[in-house]
């Protein structure tokens, strides 16, 4: 039983309603264990830059391809027991690739104490989700940090995995195989894709492949959100003006499109371990960043997911109908 539409819709609904249950083993957790173990072995025995780059490249390819293959094997084993069980396992695995509910939960976790006037608790909870120092952040700075987290992670946590799931549904790898492969790439980038020692060489390929794989779904997200905003030309112009100033080829576009669509501005001074860092300003500060703007950003992500699923569903339905009529 090959039901890509059931798997896609089921995974999207499961992520929206439940997300990642606490205490459950998550594929990203397993990937993280593999990366951590690999680093301990390699960094202890290799220090030549070229060798580090070669081993880092080989490991990244092995993890990306291996994660996809293992996921497909698990689904095949489940399907051999019963076709419906195979679909259920595929839905659960694919839902684990999406972070829509996790982003919503993170925003709620910080905004609830902030709304109650408990700045100390909001700062403490925010520290779980961002890398910047939070101990002295004011309310507007906390709101900016939440908005930036929601907008920056919307692509690599939601729309990019969905893009590869939709693409995979048309390929032998399947939705889960391609989405898991992308998730492995994203996990590698988040753990070792840095320009600082000791990751500059060993994480070089991981950073490059994630930038490459994220480029297209990021731009499609920008186009979709620009259209949803009702002012596509304005949003696109702001993104073209501001996004290239961000050192990341994708994060700047992701944050900027949300800022432009919702008439707010992100970026500014952050502190990391006490060190001040100036991030480029993205968008125009026509409105202040409020909790409502954060919820609006999350709604935009959900609308983007719904539109992509709808377009894919219509196209897939037309293809199946044409295939049936021809044969």
Give residue limits of the domains in the chain: 4-326
Beta pairing partners, 268? 279
Exposure pattern of 242-271 as b/e (b: 16+ CB <10 Å)?
bbeebeeebbbbbbbbbbbbbbbbbbeebe
Distance (Å, whole) CA 143 – CA 325: 54
CB 237 within 8 A of CB 246: no
Can you read off the two tokens belonging to residue 210?
């994630």
Distance (Å, whole) CA 178 – CA 326: 29
What sign does the dihedral 8-14-19-24 (CA atoms) show? negative
Distance (Å, whole) CA 253 – CA 75: 35
- How confident is the model over 44-57, as pLDDT tens digits? 888 888 999 999 99
Distance (Å, whole) CA 13 – CA 150: 19
What sign does the dihedral 232-237-242-244 (CA atoms) show? positive
Distance (Å, whole) CA 283 – CA 279: 13
Respond yes or no on whether the N-terminal peptide bond of residue 198 is cis (omega within 30° of 0). yes
- pLDDT 10s per residue in the chain (327 long)? 568 999 999 999 999 999 888 778 899 999 999 999 999 999 888 888 899 999 999 999 999 999 999 999 999 999 999 999 999 999 999 999 999 999 999 999 999 999 999 999 999 999 999 999 999 999 999 999 999 999 999 999 999 999 999 999 989 889 999 999 999 999 999 999 988 888 889 999 999 999 999 999 999 999 999 999 999 999 999 999 999 999 999 999 999 999 999 999 999 999 999 999 999 999 999 999 999 999 999 999 999 999 999 999 999 888 888 877 887
Beta strand extents in the chain (DSSP E only)? 265-272, 275-283
DSSP alpha helix (H) spans, 82-203: 83-95, 100-115, 119-126, 139-154, 160-168, 174-192, 199-202
Nearest to 298 by CA among 13, 9, 16, 12: 16
Exposure pattern of 152-187 as b/e (b: 16+ CB <10 Å)?
bbbbbbbbbbbbbbbbbbeeebbbbbbbbbbbbbbb
DSSP 8-state assignment for residue 244: G
> What is the helix (H) or strand (E) element at residue 27, kind and residue range?
helix 27-45
For position 2, what pLDDT does the model report?
66
For position 320, what pLDDT does the model report?
83
For position 143, what pLDDT does the model report?
98
For position 216, what pLDDT does the model report?
98
CB 60 within 8 A of CB 188: yes
């Amino acid at each position: 039983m090959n039901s890509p539409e059931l798997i896609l819709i089921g995974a999207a609904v499961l992520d929206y309603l439940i997300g990642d249950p606490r205490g459950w083993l998550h594929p990203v957790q397993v990937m993280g264990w593999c990366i951590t173990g690999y680093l301990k072995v390699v960094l202890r025995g290799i220090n030549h830059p070229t060798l580090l780059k070669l081993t880092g490249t080989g490991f990244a390819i092995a993890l990306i391809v291996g994660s996809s293959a293992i996921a497909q094997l698990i689904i095949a084993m489940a399907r051999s027991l019963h076709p419906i069980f195979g679909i259920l396992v595929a839905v659960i695995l694919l839902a684990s690739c999406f972070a829509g509910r996790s982003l919503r939960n993170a925003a709620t976790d910080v905004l609830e104490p902030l709304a109650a006037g408990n700045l100390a608790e909001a700062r403490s909870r925010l520290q779980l989700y961002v890398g910047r120092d939070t101990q002295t952040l004011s309310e507007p700075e906390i709101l900016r940090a939440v908005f930036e987290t929601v907008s920056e992670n919307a692509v690599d946590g939601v729309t990019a995995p969905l893009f590869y799931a939709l693409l995979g549904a048309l390929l032998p790898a399947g939705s889960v195989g391609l989405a898991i492969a992308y998730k492995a790439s994203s996990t590698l980038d988040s753990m070792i894709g840095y320009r600082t020692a000791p990751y500059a060489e060993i994480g070089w390929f991981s950073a490059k492949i994630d930038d490459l794989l994220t480029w297209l779904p990021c731009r499609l997200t920008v186009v979709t959100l620009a259209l949803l905003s009702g002012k596509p030309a304005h949003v696109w112009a702001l993104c073209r003006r501001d996004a290239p100033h961000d050192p990341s080829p994708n994060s700047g576009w992701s944050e900027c499109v949300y800022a432009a669509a919702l008439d707010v501005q992100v970026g500014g001074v952050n502190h990391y371990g006490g060190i001040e860092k100036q991030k480029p300003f993205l968008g125009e500060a026509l409105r202040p960043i409020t909790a409502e703007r954060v919820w609006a950003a999350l709604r935009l992500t959900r609308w983007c997911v719904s539109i992509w699923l709808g377009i894919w569903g219509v196209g897939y339905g037309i293809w199946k109908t044409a295939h049936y009529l021809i044969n």
